[in-house]
Amino acid sequence: MTSTTYTSRVFSLETMDVPGGTETILRGGRHLFPLLPQAFAGVRRIGVIGWGPQGRAQALNLRDSLAGADIRVAVGLRPGSASAADARAHGFTEENGTLGDWLAVTADSDLVILLIADAALAAHHQEIFAALKPSAVIGLSHGFLLGHLRETGGGFPPGHGVIAVCPKGMGDSVRRLYRQGEDINGAGINSSYAVHADPDGRATDLALGWSVALGSPYTFRTTLDSEYLSDIVGERAILLGAVHGIVESLYTRARLVGDDPVAAYEKTCENITGPIARTISHSGMRAVREGLDATGRDVFDRAYTATYASAREIVAEIYDEVADGTELRSVILAERRLGSRPMSEIGGSPMWSVGDEVHARRGERDLPVEPFTAGVFVATMTAQIDEFAERGHPWSEIVNESVIEAVDSLLPYMHARDVAHMVDNCSRTARLGARRWGPRFQSAYGQIAFPAAEHPADEALLTAFETHPVHEALAAAAKLRPSVDISVS
Amino acid sequence: MTSTTYTSRVFSLETMDVPGGTETILRGGRHLFPLLPQAFAGVRRIGVIGWGPQGRAQALNLRDSLAGADIRVAVGLRPGSASAADARAHGFTEENGTLGDWLAVTADSDLVILLIADAALAAHHQEIFAALKPSAVIGLSHGFLLGHLRETGGGFPPGHGVIAVCPKGMGDSVRRLYRQGEDINGAGINSSYAVHADPDGRATDLALGWSVALGSPYTFRTTLDSEYLSDIVGERAILLGAVHGIVESLYTRARLVGDDPVAAYEKTCENITGPIARTISHSGMRAVREGLDATGRDVFDRAYTATYASAREIVAEIYDEVADGTELRSVILAERRLGSRPMSEIGGSPMWSVGDEVHARRGERDLPVEPFTAGVFVATMTAQIDEFAERGHPWSEIVNESVIEAVDSLLPYMHARDVAHMVDNCSRTARLGARRWGPRFQSAYGQIAFPAAEHPADEALLTAFETHPVHEALAAAAKLRPSVDISVS
């Protein structure tokens, strides 16, 4: 069980009740920014390495939050990086000393935040480690590098703090909700933090300061290992991979019973990214079922109980393979193979061609929650929650990786673009994972779960859902962020 | 490149032309049985360990073939094995000294043929190795154990010959076609053979003798490594995994364009296991297209060229993961997980419920080859052929693992039962592989390949198919077996 208790010399902490105990949390907000210089004691220069979606969001948020402090944020890029122009357009320039070569910026920084792509990290971490100042702290937002080092028998360079602050959402959301925080204090994306190495005792407050500066409404503690597992599994399951499989299987099912493409899309994909995500975000998972009439609840119940077993089986398999290192090996093999054979895109699948028409109809009416779709989706979400709970993840991490990140960040993004866009455009590791596992959900649901939904619902599974400890954990987490407008323009 | 040339002190060998060179082959037949005692010199007792489909078939064939020789065939089973009764019913009994505990039979045998399930081999091979007589030869019909030893850092016990004779078909076919050979000399399932360790120079002729005694129409040489790779990849691709994915995706496609379930099944699954398999078996791959009219050929061409890229991408991924050991790790993880969570079955998928009705309609008319289905299937087959050729497999192995085993053994079996039955009842390693990879083909074909079939066919891909060296290799292999009735009653 991961320890979820911690103390801070800088920030006031709170205790949140979770099933089976409590977790320490730091509630964020702009009113804490005056404390940042204290949290960042010993850090005069922060180097954000990489200008992908996370790199950009974090560099901008940090610069804004630290505007009054005497702490410089610089961006480091690979030679010839295509991102240089965009970084300059956002005020990170060579002229003002806030843009440079990644190794040069690394060598000049007291906190080095590594936000380059996983494959680049795998290939270049040793050069980066070699460039570090003696007392520089290594910052990560993702546990991938730990998994990679473990798989390859490497390690972090001794003598350096190693901390992680992991926003539970896409870079786009991390920046957008931070800016909303100018009007609504506390808006943002939650983060977990982890201390992997702490040679001088500074690590916890530095990590907390980093998280507050990113605008995290609340920060909870985890370990790099736990973060890695929940993140890599989550993106293959309810955060992305399973979503793709779910919508493809449901869409096909709707078309097979005679729905035209637009109606089928509205009952399935649009329903998940729209009303179902919104309901869970505002009112929790049970509210999805409670909003249905008696007939709808019966359909939900059958779909839920028919889907749960298949979902749990696949999530367990994903987890085993991520934990074992097998999934990481397949990612590395795929990276090699993609050198010669580019990854195909899934955006050409028939269902995506009706996306535009469906988008155009938005606003004509409020789309009601479709009960079968809802049962399938909520069952998948619950299966992931249960698997993570069984494996000992902290409740904050469980609810963020299985619910909040989905309904507050990823699904709204998919609502604005579409699922295919997401699958074809997210991080490489996530893309590869979604392509491997999405079809497993699609197949199992189409072939096993949906036929089983003809049968009466399993009362024991329904009771387990109704009385699930996650609902309280989710409500407690919801209290810690304001109701922000999470729609993506 | 695997060496495919060999010599024998006992049997007359032939040379077969293959693309780029020649391969040595041994043409089999009952007329060779008098040579078996010479080939088996030094072997008085053969122990067949395991009574699964392969174990039963091989024990029976060996006993029949060696009936005149002074060589005893005994069967060794695990304590409490459920197979004992069936073995006794086939004349292997404790009373006549031909049935016993697996370690006891091992200790008593000069050639120990290990035909237990992969998981059991992984768990118990060390006990079995420890029981061997000093000069006993280890016989395998599958490269799995080599892969496992490599993955776990183990090895074969020094001083023992290690040979493999690998029938390119299911146990059921190995026995059934052998018995047809009583009437039609040379009927049987081809085998590859490999010599992994040969301390005393006997190994090649012993392996060839074993293969002749099994009734192999022809025997070609490979390595244990090459066999393992082609077999494990093949069962995840055209032999089983891809077949399942193909039929599910094609069936859905047919239903979506309005076909009723029976018509959809006949155009897809029934078409592959029936007329397409038969055409390839009798006349080769090009004959599938040649038998179509002009409109049909256009449909075939579009389906072929739209499917090829997706198929190749997935086969390459499967190959990488099998070669890397990653796939094997996932099999081992699944075995552990299945201890507590049984594998679900796919036979409940909607398409299988119409199987009975379709079977009942057989004989009413000859089902014509469906062009779209044929293009998709042949493209997948060709993709596997090309991947194996690129990776350096011998042509005999390529055509057996990619074509002959499919059309002469597996597809006829699926025609008699159904694909779902096969997926739910074959070897555990194959089941797991089919469940992992079948959905990849299903997804990619439904989402990427079929939409792409709207476009004009790619002439370069079609020309490559037309002029493919595999057609000659296949024709050469076909000459080496009689036309037997391969239908399964």
Instruction: Provide the ipTM.
Output: 0.83
Residue ranges of B 155-174 with Cβ closer than 8 A to chain A? none
In whole angstroms, give the CA distance from residue B437 to residue B441. Answer: 7
Give contacts of A344 with chain B, Cβ < 8 Å: 309-310, 313, 444, 448
CA within 13 Å, CB half, A319: 23
pLDDT tens for each residue of chain B, 489 residues long: 457 788 999 999 998 888 888 899 999 999 999 999 999 999 999 999 999 999 999 999 999 999 989 999 999 999 889 999 999 999 999 999 999 999 999 999 999 999 998 888 988 999 999 999 999 999 999 888 988 898 888 999 999 999 999 998 888 889 999 998 888 776 788 899 999 999 999 999 999 999 999 999 889 999 999 999 999 999 999 999 999 999 999 999 999 999 999 999 999 999 999 999 999 999 999 999 999 999 999 999 999 999 999 999 999 999 999 999 889 888 888 888 887 666 777 667 778 888 888 988 888 788 999 999 999 999 999 999 999 999 999 998 999 999 998 998 889 888 988 777 777 777 778 888 999 999 999 999 999 999 999 999 999 999 999 999 999 999 888 777 665 555 554
Instruction: State the catalytic residues of A.
Output: 142
Burial code (b: 16+ CB inside 10 Å, e: under 16) for B184-218 equals eebbbbbbbbbbbbeeeebbbbbbbbbbbbbbbbb
Adjacency order of strands within the sheet including B162-167:
B14-18, B21-27, B218-221, B191-197, B162-167, B137-140, B111-114, B45-49, B72-77, B99-101
pLDDT tens for each residue of chain A, 489 residues long: 457 788 999 999 998 888 888 899 999 999 999 999 999 999 999 999 999 999 999 999 999 999 989 999 999 999 889 999 999 999 999 999 999 999 999 999 999 999 998 888 988 999 999 999 999 999 999 888 988 898 888 999 999 999 999 998 888 889 999 998 888 776 788 899 999 999 999 999 999 999 999 999 889 999 999 999 999 999 999 999 999 999 999 999 999 999 999 999 999 999 999 999 999 999 999 999 999 999 999 999 999 999 999 999 999 999 999 999 889 888 888 888 887 666 777 667 778 888 888 988 888 788 999 999 999 999 999 999 999 999 999 998 999 999 998 998 889 888 988 777 777 777 778 888 999 999 999 999 999 999 999 999 999 999 999 999 999 999 888 777 665 555 554
Q: For chain B, where do the domains classified as CATH 1.10.1040.10 start and end?
A: 233-478
Q: What is the dihedral of CA A465, A470, A472, A474, to 10 degrees?
A: -120
Residue in A with minimal Cα distance to B255: A256
Cα angle B115-B121-B124, degrees, rounded to a multiple of 5 = 125
Shortest distance, CA B330 to any CA of chain A (angstroms)? 7
pLDDT in tens, B57-101: 999 999 999 998 999 999 999 988 999 999 999 999 999 999 999
A8 touches chain B (CB under 8 A): no
In whole angstroms, give the CA distance from residue A94 to residue A76. Answer: 10
Contact B341 A310 (CB under 8 A): no
Asked if CATH classification 3.30.70.260 holds for the domain at B14-218, the reply, yes or no, is no
- What count of CB pairs under 8 Å joins A to B? 109
Could you say which of A313, A316, A329 has the minimum Cβ distance to residue B344?
Answer: A313
Give contacts of A309 with chain B, Cβ < 8 Å: 344
Contact B349 A446 (CB under 8 A): yes
Cα angle B165-B169-B172, degrees, rounded to a multiple of 5 = 110
Shortest distance, CA B402 to any CA of chain A (angstroms)? 22
Contact A443 B444 (CB under 8 A): no
B421 touches chain A (CB under 8 A): no
Give contacts of A256 with chain B, Cβ < 8 Å: 252, 255-256
User: In this structure, are strands A191-197 and A218-221 parallel, antiparallel, or unpaired?
Assistant: parallel
The answer on whether B108 is annotated among ligand-binding residues is no
The answer on whether B317 is annotated among ligand-binding residues is no
Helical H runs in A157-240? Answer: 171-180, 203-214, 224-236
Provide the token pair at A418: 């579409």
A248 touches chain B (CB under 8 A): yes
In whole angstroms, give the CA distance from residue B379 to residue B168. Answer: 21
Contact of A44 with A135, CB cutoff 8 Å: no
A335 touches chain B (CB under 8 A): no
List the CATH code of the domain at A233-478. Answer: 1.10.1040.10
Residue in A with minimal Cα distance to B452: A348
Cα angle B401-B407-B411, degrees, rounded to a multiple of 5 = 105
Give contacts of B337 with chain A, Cβ < 8 Å: 316-317, 320
Helical H runs in B153-260? Answer: 171-180, 203-214, 224-236, 241-256
Residue in B with minimal Cα distance to A309: B344
Contact B337 A348 (CB under 8 A): no
- Would you give the DSSP letter of residue A30? G
Could you say which of B324, B330, B436 has the minimum Cβ distance to residue A333?
Answer: B324
Could you say which of A255, A333, A451 has the minimum Cβ distance to residue B326?
Answer: A333
B150 touches chain A (CB under 8 A): no
Write the CB contacts of B178 (distance below 8 Å, at least 6 apart in sequence).
B57, B60, B61, B64, B187, B188, B214, B215
Count CB atoms within 10 A of the CB of residue A55: 24
A157 to each of A76, A109, A128, A220, A222, how far by Cα in Å? 20, 16, 10, 26, 21
End-to-end CA distance of chain B: 40
Q: Which candidate, A489, A72, A462, A409, places its Cα nearest to that of A285?
A: A462
Residue ranges of B 349-388 with Cβ closer than 8 A to chain A? 349-350
Contact B451 A317 (CB under 8 A): no
For chain A, give percent helix, strand, coil, nearest 5. Answer: 60, 10, 30
Contact A440 B444 (CB under 8 A): no
Contact B320 A341 (CB under 8 A): no
User: B304: burial class by Cβ within 10 Å (0-12, 13-18, 19+)?
Assistant: buried
Look up tokens 């990276």; give the residue. A335
Contact of B174 with B142, CB cutoff 8 Å: no
Contact B333 A326 (CB under 8 A): yes
Q: Choose the mutation target among A152, A308, A447, A450 for the interface with B, i.e. most B CBs under 10 Å.
A: A447
Could you say which of B256, B330, B346 has the minimum Cβ distance to residue A326?
Answer: B330
Shortest distance, CA A64 to any CA of chain B (angstroms)? 43
Q: For chain A, where do the domains classified as CATH 3.40.50.720 start and end?
A: 14-218
Give contacts of B424 with chain A, Cβ < 8 Å: none
